[in-house]
Chains A and B, each alone.
Chain A
Amino acid sequence: MSEEVLARMRRKFFPLYLIGLLASLIFLAHLVLNYIYTGKEQYLTLSMLTGLFSAYLAYSLAKLLRTKIPIYSYRKVVRCTQCGYEEEAEAKGGEILFENAGSCPKCGGEMIVQKIYRKKQLKGILG
């Protein structure tokens, strides 16, 4: 589905964000340490800018990780017209609603396809 194409496109950015975030954090630590030891104002200004940049990267990364893509499966419910016994199974395609679906294992009555539906499950982007 199209969501998977989008996820694949976004997944490419994941290492980029991660490396960028790590690099900017190391740079930030370096600047902060410099400021603590030398007390020079320009280190503080730079570290503030770097801090903002790292925060932006962290936010983007979190957004990427929170993205969920839907995975669809198809199900069918067959029901006995006599006793109401129900069975659920995967729909492989070609099933027809209200068509005969064999005989009931409980009472031998006629079973029909009562429901066909799409089931949605959410999956993380990296999973």
Chain B
Amino acid sequence: MNQGSFIDAIVWFIMLTILFYLNREIEIMRLVGEIEGYLRLYKAVRDKALATTLADFKSVISKKGVEGIDIKLVEKRIKDLVELVFISPTDLDPFGIVRKIKHLLLTSEKTLKKELKSFVPSASDAEIENTLNLLEATRALNFIYKVVNHIYMIGRKFKSLWILMQLDAQLPFITEEVRALEGAIEAFSKGLPVGDSVGPIVAASLIRKYCKQEEIIEEVENTIIAKGVFKNRIIYVIKAKGPGGTVGHLDDALEWVINNAGRVDAIITVDAALKLEGEETGSVAEGFGVAIGGIGVEKFNIEELATKHNVPLYAVLIKMSEEEALSVIDEKLYEGIEKAIANVERFIKTRTPENGIIAIIGVGNTIGVAP
């Protein structure tokens, strides 16, 4: 065998191995650089959110007078509340879990409201609700930053290309969510309606069209029920009570309507829905079932009520992206609102009996929307 070509082959082999190794190292460096860029972004957004939340609450305090308020203590408490955790009930034995979740949500909401109110006793409910919404968005941003940072640090510590690649692949979706929460911070600090408010806006429009001011009932906390007449049918429009940032207790309101009206012939829910990439913002889809997002407590309860009383469930969905749902409402969504109102009216005209009783539920956060 020719000596020269054998050494050449060995050298080639070593160089090839080194090249493969270097390629891997460069790939890790590229991933680390990219992830670090995103992490810096998430951190900047979280810090800004925390600053906005603090500034917002301080402005509420200064509006109502600072006497007797320890600003330092308030600041510390707000920072603690950002780290707050909700421990969901065990689903080892899922029977009755919805009631348990509802109990947890109700009591924790009440406690948080009470605590914030104790700092500024003269603050209005809307101001407290907006601060709570800001806190919630800040908490979510803080959690996202911490988790991404955790996975990144583990990946770096063990020099694992796979962990870093998996994290890198998730980043576009996480960034979408961070943008959405960032938009929410902006919207809630200004108190302007968000994309998710389309449900309450449809409800408020129907109330303005068909219900009288004196027929608005406030039997359920944070929720209004308006009675009106449309095409010889009695309609009950249910929405969260504006203009604070709240979603209300729609299931309790529906139960009240059924108990007081004796029966309901149809339940129509109107809500924002996530669009797929490529779908038009503000396009409207109709469906059957209960259109409600969130943990599912209200959805469960409304479905229970409908099944118990044998009531058909109709839904109207207004499509938008996650960012649009949480940011100040886009102009295109008003076209969706008009279409949704027309859909609700058509459902009532064609699908319900004359002299029937219909419950219409505008689902979503009613920030910046009256009544």
Interface residues of A (CB under 8 A from B): 1-2, 5-6, 9, 72, 74, 91-99, 115-120
Binding site for A on B (CB under 8 A): 37, 40-41, 44-45, 175, 178-179, 182, 186, 189-193, 197, 201, 204-205, 208, 242-243, 327-331, 333-334, 368-371
User: What are 6 contact pairs spanning A and B, CB under 8 A?
Assistant: A2-B175, A97-B242, A97-B369, A117-B328, A118-B330, A119-B331
Q: Give complex CA distance A16, B204 in Å.
A: 54
Shortest 6 CB-CB contacts between residues of A and residues of B: A93-B190, A118-B328, A117-B331, A96-B243, A97-B369, A5-B44
Q: Is the CB of A2 within 8 A of B41?
A: yes
CA distance A93 to B186 in the complex (A): 10
Q: Is the CB of A117 within 8 A of B330?
A: yes
Contacts of B192 in A (CB 8 A): 74, 91, 93, 95, 116
Determine which of A9, A91, A116, A120 lies in contact with B40 in the assembled complex, contact meaning CB atoms within 8 Å.
Answer: A9
Most B-side CB within 10 Å, residue of A2, A74, A94, A115: A2
Contact of A2 among B182, B189, B243 (CB under 8 A): B182
Is the beta-carbon distance between B370 and A99 smaller than 8 angstroms? yes
Give every chain A residue within 8 A of B205 (Cβ-Cβ).
Answer: 98
The chain B residue with its CB closest to the CB of A99 is B370
On whether the beta carbons of B329 and A118 are closer than 8 Å, the reply is yes
B40 adjacent to A97 (CB under 8 Å): no
How many residue pairs between the two chains, A and B, have CB atoms under 8 Å in the bound complex?
Answer: 79
Cβ–Cβ contact B371 & A5, under 8 A: no
Contact of A93 among B191, B242, B369 (CB under 8 A): B191
A56 → B minimal CB distance (Å): 15
Q: How far is the CA of A2 from the CA of B200 in the complex (A)?
A: 28
Residue ID in chain B nearest A3 by CB atoms: B179
Chain B residue numbers with a CB within 8 Å of A96 are 191, 242-243, 368-370
Which residues in A have their C-beta under 8 angstroms from that of B201? 97
Q: Are A2 and B368 in contact (CB under 8 A)?
A: no
Residues A5 and B45 in contact, CB atoms below 8 Å apart: yes
* A118 pairs with B368, CB closer than 8 A: no
The answer to whether A98 and B208 touch (CB under 8 A), given A5-B45, A93-B191, is: yes
* CB-defined contacts of B179 to chain A, threshold 8 Å: 1-2
CA distance A119 to B330 in the complex (A): 7
Known contacts A9-B40, A117-B328; is A98 also within 8 Å of B334 by CB? no
Given that A6-B41, A9-B37 are known contacts, is A115 also in contact with B331, CB under 8 Å in the complex?
Answer: yes
Q: How far is the CA of A91 from the CA of B41 in the complex (A)?
A: 28
Of A2, A9, A93, which one neighbours B45 at CB under 8 angstroms?
A2
Find out whether the CB atom of B334 lies under 8 angstroms from the CB atom of A94. Answer: no
- Of B192, B193, B243, which is in contact with the most chain A CB atoms at under 10 Å from its CB? B192
Bound: A92/B208 CA distance, A: 25
Alpha-carbon distance A74/B179, docked complex (angstroms): 17
Contact, CB under 8 Å: B193 / A1: no
Q: Are A98 and B370 in contact (CB under 8 A)?
A: yes
Q: In whole Å, how far is B77's beta carbon from the nearest beta carbon of chain A?
A: 25
CB-CB nearest in chain A for B207: A98
Kindly provide the distance from the CB of B79 to the nearest chain A CB, expressed in whole angstroms: 22
Name the A residues within 8 Å of B182 (CB-CB): 1-2
Contact: B208 with A5, CB < 8 Å? no
Residue of B nearest to A114 (CB): B334
Q: Chain B residues with Cβ under 8 A from A97's Cβ?
A: 193, 197, 201, 204, 242-243, 368-370
Do residues A2 and B242 form an inter-chain contact, with CB atoms below 8 A?
A: no
